[in-house]
A and B are shown apart, each in its own frame.
Chain A
């Protein structure tokens, strides 16, 4: 059952607002549409953090790649880059939490989180891990209630637990190998629930060109773009409906792939039969 009162009233237009919590975005990159990009920055303020307008730069190159993937698949989306790295390239967990909290409070349609907390599966959680993970969990729950879709990257290695990608209140993403940027595959695991292209993904690089990137970080923006499309079509879709729609897209794709393979194998069998008959006749 959908609780309409929980869906923010502002979410009725077709303007889709995407937040990208990452290393910043270099808006001067030729493959990016700067008119659709806005830059914010998490800065320490006293004991806490504040979100301020930022220079449109990327402090690592990672965020520009993610923005490029989103813009390629959902060119209509308005992307707000929320840079969590300090000028020295540092980011505390509290800074990351402040950034996600801001995105939820601002009711973005979808938030891309290619950053998170990685904990080795074999290692016990430390008290500080518990604190950050519980806070992330609460923010993710709040986002779910507020109708803000969080899309988070899962682990690159099976030996890690990655938060918040593990939480079931959001969409955890694993990486797959596919040349098709539309590729989606349902794979419900403890770590994530859907796969998207994350191996050798061609995306913008600092300096103006493009390069191939590999990592779940680059799979998550593909799913973010799919969510943006769904939100553009139906702004009041709930998170359950969005998840269902994503899995339906994956299933449809799988069905098409299966049908194609069946046709291919039938054609192959027919060809082989014809060749054999032809050979027999000869």
Chain B
């Protein structure tokens, strides 16, 4: 099948104002979508860790993921056999087993002591004083993006549990990878916007976005938000006065929705 040639730049230029504004609105949508995805990711990680606590003699389990470009690791979730909880603990890997894991090292188990300097930085995230731990790397492609720690406060963790922990790390890494893939797809999609908006585009932008929203399995309210984004984009194209008016109306709608309680800024507009 032969696709039509991309539109000439002159055709596209007329759409640039609209597309840049639409891009801003999409960024809002993207943030909301990623927040939704992030929820799913934390739940996925939490449930896997919880399962590990049920299957292995470990009292608590956590993952520590790198915070991009900052050199720190963040612990988004800690689980035990009863459930999981979010945390916001961040630490530098240096001096911890995670430094070795990030360096390409493989999983290992270690006996731990009270106030062990090796896991001191994990202390605020934990509700137990671990006596043993297994540390396994989470790898995406060729790089380690963090690690998981399975910790016990009495039971021995060693040979038998290490192999299972390495496999658990694979599952955890897949959860993280699927989230990152979604991020990448959205970013590619945003980059392709000008082509999708051109007069003779072979793809319908609106359908594609709707499809994307559907695949994210987000609430239908996002679809409504998408309709609003397109309508606002068209209005904004009429001139700066219309754009200012739109921004004001949107702010009022958001304030109204927030005032209703529970609906928030992502509610139906």
Contact = CB atoms under 8 A, between A and B. Distances in A.
A88 B102 CA distance: 9
Contacts of B112: 211
A156 B142 contact: no
B117 interface: yes
Interface stretch (B49-57, B155-163, B208-216, B249-257): B155-163
Interface in A206-236: 206-207, 209, 211-218
B139 interface: yes
Interface residues of A, number: 51
B233 interface: no
Contacts of B166: 155-157, 159-160
A129 B71 CA distance: 24
Contacts of A91: 102-104
B46 interface: no
B71 A88 contact: yes
B103 A93 contact: no
A87 B170 CA distance: 26
B95 A206 contact: yes
A7 interface: no
B139 A118 contact: yes
Interface string A138-163: 00000000000000010111111010
A177 interface: yes
B175 interface: no
Tell me the interface secondary structure of chain A in the complex.
Answer: loop
A80 interface: no
Interface string A164-202: 000000000001010000000000000000000001100
Nearest to A207: B117
B108 A215 contact: yes
Nearest to B136: A156
Contact of B106 (A126, A155, A200): A155
A177 B142 CA distance: 31
A60 B163 CA distance: 21
B110 A89 contact: no
A126 B105 contact: no
A156 B141 contact: no
Contact of A211 (B103, B105, B111, B162): B111
A214 B97 contact: no
Given A62-B97, A89-B103, A120-B170, A213 B110 contact: yes
B110 A214 contact: yes
Interface stretch (A10-18, A31-39, A109-117, A253-261): A109-117
Contacts of A115: 103-105
Contacts of A56: none
A156 B108 contact: yes
A218 B112 CA distance: 16
A59 interface: yes
Contacts of A23: 99-100, 103, 105
Nearest to B117: A207
A278 interface: no
Given A61-B97, A89-B94, A209 B105 contact: no
B167 A88 contact: no
A33 B4 CA distance: 74
Contacts of A155: 106, 166
Contacts of A153: 106
A218 B102 CA distance: 18
A132 interface: yes
B76 interface: no
A152 B97 CA distance: 19
Interface in A53-75: 59-63
A77 interface: no
Given A59-B99, A115-B104, A159 B159 contact: no
A84 B106 contact: no
B108 A126 contact: no
A90 B158 CA distance: 26
Interface of B: 71, 92-100, 102-113, 116-118, 137, 139, 141-143, 157-159, 162-163, 166-167, 170
30 contacts: A60-B93, A60-B103, A61-B95, A61-B96, A62-B108, A84-B103, A87-B94, A88-B71, A89-B92, A89-B94, A90-B71, A90-B102, A93-B142, A115-B104, A118-B139, A132-B142, A156-B106, A156-B107, A156-B108, A156-B166, A157-B166, A158-B163, A159-B163, A177-B159, A207-B118, A213-B108, A213-B110, A214-B159, A215-B107, A217-B108
The 5 closest A-B pairs by CB, nearest first: A89-B99, A215-B108, A91-B103, A89-B93, A214-B109
Given A60-B100, A160-B166, A205-B118, 4 more contacts: A59-B95, A159-B166, A162-B106, A211-B110
